[in-house]
Amino acid sequence: MKAPAPDAQNSRNGGRVRAAERDILALGIAAAAIIMFVGTGSAVVPSVIRAFAGYGIGPDSALVNALVLNVALIIFGWRRYNELSSEVAERRRAEQQARTLAETDPLTGTLNRRSFGLALHDLIANSDQGSSNAAIMMIDLDNFKQVNDRRGHGIGDLILVECAQRIAAAVPTGALVSRVGGDEFACAMSFDPARPEAIDTVAASLVEAISQPIAVQGFKVEITASIGITRADVLCHAQDGQIDAQHMLDMADVAMYHAKRQGRNSYFWFEEFMADELRFRERIEAGMRSGLEKGEFVPYYERQIDVATGQLTGFEMLARWDSPEFGLVLPDLFIPIAEEVGLITELSEQLIAAALEDARQWAPHLTLAVNISPVQLRDQWFSQRLLKLLVSANFPPGRLEIEITESCVHEDIVQVCSLIASLRNQGVRVSLDDFGTGFNSLGQLSQLNFDRIKIDRSFVSDIDRSEDNAAIVESIAMLGKGLGLPITAEGIESHAVLEQLRGYGELRGQGYLYGKPSSASDTRAWLDELGLLGTAGDADIGKDQPQIADQPQGGDTQRAAQG
Ligand code: C2E
Ligand code: CA
Ligand code: CA
């Protein structure tokens, strides 16, 4: 709320003073009128009665006038009193409204950050550490930004209101509920320290309540929340008796980020190790920013083989971070961070540009597959950006394959459909990665026009031991044959698995059996040995290539610190 201008405030104060003066004057006049009425009335009324009864000549006209004036003054005083009462009531209402506005979030009606902080202070101060304690929960909506971007701010606002109502309904009576940031809520409540599980129950019901689909303007939106919890007595212990509301909020925030890292849609109590985790994560993030500038992110290549003939068909590029501080870091650690902090596009484009340069030196029949994050697919200019990279590297689009994971398809099927169409129009092929992990329906599969399906390695790597997985892989292979869709099996680690796969028909394969991912220079040296280096003009190179030995070789055996 804006503060009023000084002039307006002066004139408002002046008005109030004048009104008060008028009220005192009106009160004085009414009191004087009543005293005079008693005086004049006691003289005039008996003489009027006597005149009516025929005993006298009636009152003096001056006295009658004075009496009438008295009555008028009393009526004036009475009316002023009534006006004054309603003015006071009106002023009280306005003050209450101003206080409500100053204390609550106008969108959701929950407490705002400032008033929550004050109320929290009181709650902590009043909670006697023996019989009652205070707990704080930080609740952050997991995928709100995407929903807001895709559906618009109007629907985003309605979702926030609905979530606020669900939170208020799930917490015990008397709990404080506040929207402390865009899509971040906080709750505070007292509890019996002997029964902290009561707080677990509240947190679990919050997770459950928020995850229920929300129907807004004909859309069904699914939102989840990550919750971090902390309790005053734990921090009291950690902080030499000092309980600071801000410190509690910070620790609940740390626990909330831990819940995010653990896969979201869950709650965690704060523990000291989480703060270390956060500090480590901040170091990683800072290292990534400088690493991007210094070109520390490099492509590694994993071989892709025709299972039947044993011949090399191409490579999948896998990102590695060659960090002077952390060693060779795997993408499972840094890709999610890059996605979260908005570095993924820059990172991916840097890697793809380097990979296109590397692949230009390979035999022209060898393909290059690159992984694309769901965050990049949301960018409506994605296929244009990719085309620009292809043009500046002078790389034939037909040699490039984009791998998108099954989970992307759920996000927005219409958008993904048009993206796939536009990539295929440019001649780029599109594979569905990690198939089997994301519960896609067969209907969606045929709708999406993929060029290839990659069966997730969790199904493939133990088909020699697990009959269930063997049945799954075999039926996906048959499905591919039926739909005319080529299939790749990931994660081939043993000869037994390879032999079994050979019985399932035409497949491509990847896995440690054929070799671990290796650096650009190692890959180049290996291709050189096989006579598989060449330029785009050397159409014959690799036509009679040797079978690739099914033996693991070199690669990134070095494993980086993962946290
Ligand atoms: P993915 O696309 O499923 O890649 C295959 C992963 O499986 C790679 O892990 C690879 O090293 C590993 N792998 C290959 N063969 C075997 C095997 O026989 N056994 C086992 N146990 N593992 C095998 P990596 O390189 O750690 O990559 C992990 C994930 O990171 C990738 O999974 C991919 O989803 C993502 N990723 C990698 N590079 C990029 C990138 O440039 N951009 C994006 N957005 N994601 C990337
Ligand atoms: Ca992949
Ligand atoms: Ca995969």
The answer to whether the CB of 515 falls within 8 A of the CB of 552 is yes
Per-residue pLDDT band at 427 (split at 50, 70, 90): very high
pLDDT single digits (tens) 183-200: 999 999 999 988 999 999
Report the pLDDT averaged over residues 19-24. Answer: 64
DSSP assignment of 317-378 equals EEEEEEETTTEEE-HHHHHHHHHHTT-HHHHHHHHHHHHHHHHTTB-TT-EEEEEE-HHHHT
pLDDT single digits (tens) 453-478: 999 999 999 999 999 999 999 999 99
Q: What pLDDT does residue 387 have?
A: 96
What gap in Å lies between CA 332 and CA 326, rounded to an integer? 14
Per-residue pLDDT band at 146 (split at 50, 70, 90): confident
Percent of the chain at pLDDT exceeding 70: 87
Give, for ligand 1, the residue of 305, 307, 318 to mutate: max count of ligand atoms closer than 8 Å to Cβ: 318
Per-residue pLDDT band at 448 (split at 50, 70, 90): confident
The answer to whether the CB of 406 falls within 8 A of the CB of 438 is yes
User: Which of 55-64, 283-292, 503-512, 525-534 comes out lowest in average pLDDT?
Assistant: 55-64
The answer to whether the CB of 509 falls within 8 A of the CB of 475 is no
The answer to whether the CB of 452 falls within 8 A of the CB of 428 is no
* Closest atom, ligand 1, to C-alpha of 339: 44
Q: Is 493's C-beta closer than 6 angstroms to any atom of ligand 1?
A: yes
In three-state secondary structure terms, 457 is helix
Compute, in angstroms, the gap from residue 321 CA to the centroid of ligand 1: 13
Residue having the nearest C-alpha atom to atom 14 of ligand 1: 511
In three-state secondary structure terms, 303 is strand
Q: Is 517's C-beta closer than 6 angstroms to any atom of ligand 1?
A: yes
What gap in Å lies between CA 199 and CA 189, rounded to an integer? 9
What gap in Å lies between CA 407 and CA 378, rounded to an integer? 13
Q: Is 336's C-beta closer than 6 angstroms to any atom of ligand 1?
A: no
Compute, in angstroms, the gap from residue 281 CA to the centroid of ligand 3: 25
**Residues around ligand 3, an ion, CB closer than 5 A:** 433-434
What gap in Å lies between CA 191 and CA 205, rounded to an integer? 16
* Closest atom, ligand 1, to C-alpha of 331: 30
Q: What pLDDT does residue 143 have?
A: 85
Q: What's the CATH number for 297-530?
A: 3.20.20.450
* Closest atom, ligand 1, to C-alpha of 456: 3
Residue extents of the structural domains in the chain: 6-103, 113-270, 297-530
Q: Is 299's C-beta closer than 6 angstroms to any atom of ligand 1?
A: no
* Closest atom, ligand 1, to C-alpha of 510: 15
Per-residue pLDDT band at 411 (split at 50, 70, 90): low
Please name which ligand lies nearest the alpha carbon of 331.
1
Using the predicted structure, report yes or no on whether residue 441 has a pLDDT greater than 70: no
**Residues 6 or more apart in contact with residue 174 via CB below 8 angstroms:** 189, 190
Compute, in angstroms, the gap from residue 300 CA to the centroid of ligand 1: 10
Q: What pLDDT does residue 540 have?
A: 52
Tokens coding 540? 């014959």
Using the predicted structure, report yes or no on whether residue 168 has a pLDDT greater than 60: yes
* Closest atom, ligand 1, to C-alpha of 299: 41
Please name which ligand lies nearest the alpha carbon of 437.
3
Per-residue pLDDT band at 150 (split at 50, 70, 90): confident
Q: What pLDDT does residue 22 have?
A: 64
Compute, in angstroms, the gap from residue 318 CA to the centroid of ligand 2: 8
Per-residue pLDDT band at 326 (split at 50, 70, 90): very high
Average pLDDT, the chain: 86
* Closest atom, ligand 1, to C-alpha of 373: 44
pTM confidence score: 0.70
Most confident of 8-12, 126-130, 435-439, 527-531: 527-531
What gap in Å lies between CA 351 and CA 357, rounded to an integer? 10
Burial 323-345 (b: 16+ CB within 10 A, else e): beebebbbbebbbebbbeeebbb
Q: How far is CA 128 from CA 132, 193, 212, 264, 427, in A?
A: 5, 10, 36, 33, 69
Chain-centroid distance of CA 117 in Å reads 23
User: Which of 19-28, 296-305, 346-355 comes out lowest in average pLDDT?
Assistant: 19-28
Using the predicted structure, report yes or no on whether residue 31 has a pLDDT greater than 90: no
Q: What pLDDT does residue 288 have?
A: 98
Q: What's the CATH number for 113-270?
A: 3.30.70.270
Please name which ligand lies nearest the alpha carbon of 403.
2
Using the predicted structure, report yes or no on whether residue 241 has a pLDDT greater than 60: no
Tokens coding 395? 């790389």
The answer to whether the CB of 318 falls within 8 A of the CB of 517 is yes
Most confident of 45-54, 182-191, 475-484: 182-191
Amino acid at position 311, single letter: Q
Using the predicted structure, report yes or no on whether residue 167 has a pLDDT greater than 60: yes
Compute, in angstroms, the gap from residue 147 CA to the centroid of ligand 1: 28
Q: Is 395's C-beta closer than 6 angstroms to any atom of ligand 1?
A: no
Is residue 395 classed exposed, middle or buried when 0-12, 13-18 and 19+ CB atoms within 10 A define those classes? buried
Q: What pLDDT does residue 461 have?
A: 95
Compute, in angstroms, the gap from residue 170 CA to the centroid of ligand 3: 39
Compute, in angstroms, the gap from residue 503 CA to the centroid of ligand 3: 22
* Closest atom, ligand 1, to C-alpha of 513: 18
Q: What pLDDT does residue 535 have?
A: 59
Compute, in angstroms, the gap from residue 79 CA to the centroid of ligand 2: 84
Q: Is 337's C-beta closer than 6 angstroms to any atom of ligand 1?
A: no
Give, for ligand 1, the residue of 288, 371, 461 to mutate: max count of ligand atoms closer than 8 Å to Cβ: 371
Q: Is the CA virtual torsion 159, 163, 166, 168 positive or negative?
A: negative
Using the predicted structure, report yes or no on whether residue 144 has a pLDDT greater than 70: yes
Q: What pLDDT does residue 219 have?
A: 85
pLDDT single digits (tens) 510-554: 999 999 999 999 999 999 999 999 854 454 555 566 677 554 444
Tokens coding 208? 């459950």
Q: What pLDDT does residue 560 have?
A: 37
Compute, in angstroms, the gap from residue 388 CA to the centroid of ligand 3: 26
pLDDT single digits (tens) 389-409: 999 999 999 999 999 987 777
DSSP 397: G
